[in-house]
Amino acid sequence: MLGSNDGAEAALKYLAPLFLALGITAPCFAGKHHQSTFVFEYQGLRYTGEILVPPESAKGLIVVIPGHGPTDLVGGDQWRELREFLVGQRYGVAYWDKAGNGLSEGDYDHNQSIQSSAEEAVAAIKAIQSLQVPGADQLGFWSISRGGWIVPKVFELLPEVDFWISVSGTTELDNSRYMLEANLRAEKRSAKDIEVLMAEWDHYQRILVRGGSFDEFSEGTRRLMADPYFNANDFQMTEEVLNNIQQYFQSGELQFDENTNLAVMYPNLEETLSSLEIPVLAILGRLDTQVDWKATGELYQRASERGGIDLTSVYLDRCNHVMQQSDTGGIYEELPPDVPACQGYYDAMSDWLQKIGSASHKPGW
């Protein structure tokens, strides 16, 4: 995020970590389908993706938009069960690997901007449309986590999209405060510990964003910086790094919320959602410790009530950020390799896809 400023980048990873959405284990929905490779270019790099088309006539084409983290889609097993499930619902599926992953050229950039990710997706979609893929005239998205920022941005650039499945979607704000508090609760920390640590985190964020001395920072964050969860890598803040972060944050490149001092990742997200006259399925896990699932659900509901998205919301119990059955939802929770998908996850998508396929939301459905 800060280019060559390595010290500031090291500190920033404690501010806004959006963790990699890992593969989801689910029942096998294997069936025969046609699989082909496609390529496209974006910012001088050649990206490689795949398209799956069901053996029956396709009802539409669903483009997969992942969250943060490297991908292993083309030739890999990431979300294989999801892909096969969607094909089993008679939808084509398109996906590609990020730069530096799979067969895509370049270097992986964990700090790629939302705008850039959306432009990359638009380049991929245009390449797919040029191939006259069956179902591409009814285009939809499946997204997870950070994809909840990318998809609305794609709609701003490419309005001819027909439906959206948003999994573990986001609000307009950076998730770092929620993530810390939710995972402290998942770690069974005492109410007093959480209260003290969150008060220190608020001080920490305020000094970084609004300014303050190194002494003020150090005095007000002693327990936080010593906490094994928050500072697992034993990062040591220095006056130089603090000054670099403050200068960057005050440069105007980022916008911050006046009340929380959190970065505004997508200004006017509610307004964008309110302008989308399409069916949206929002699936949220009640044990999600990475994004504020309650706030996301409320945001989508407000957008729907303003006359925008045709919203269906599904809240799943014992369900973590990546739609796995879970006891705590914590990012350090140890789950077995064959952990099942959340109960109701695939049923919710199946029921909704059948509903929109017969509801004539747009001419041609």
User: How far is Cα 205 from Cα 68, in angstroms, rounded to an integer?
Assistant: 22
CATH code for the structural domain at 34-174+267-358: 3.40.50.1820
The strand pairing partners of 167, in sequence order, are 144, 283
pLDDT at 107: 97
Query: Measuring CA to CA, which residue among 340, 186, 343, 175 is closest to residue 265?
Result: 175
pLDDT at 358: 66
pLDDT at 18: 29
Please identify every stretch of the chain with a pLDDT value under 70, giving residue numbers as ranges. 1-32, 358-365
- Going from N- to C-terminal start, the domains of the chain cover 6-11+176-249, 34-174+267-358
- Tell me the Cα Rg of the chain: 21
pLDDT in tens, 262-304: 999 999 999 999 999 999 999 999 999 999 999 999 999 999 9
pTM, full prediction = 0.88
User: How far is Cα 237 from Cα 242, in angstroms, rounded to an integer?
Assistant: 7
User: How far is Cα 30 from Cα 23, in angstroms, rounded to an integer?
Assistant: 16
pLDDT at 212: 97
If 0-12 CB within 10 Å is exposed, 13-18 middle and 19+ buried, where does residue 331 land?
middle
Helices (H), the chain: 6-12, 80-88, 114-130, 147-157, 176-186, 191-210, 214-220, 222-226, 239-249, 269-274, 293-305, 345-358
pLDDT at 29: 36
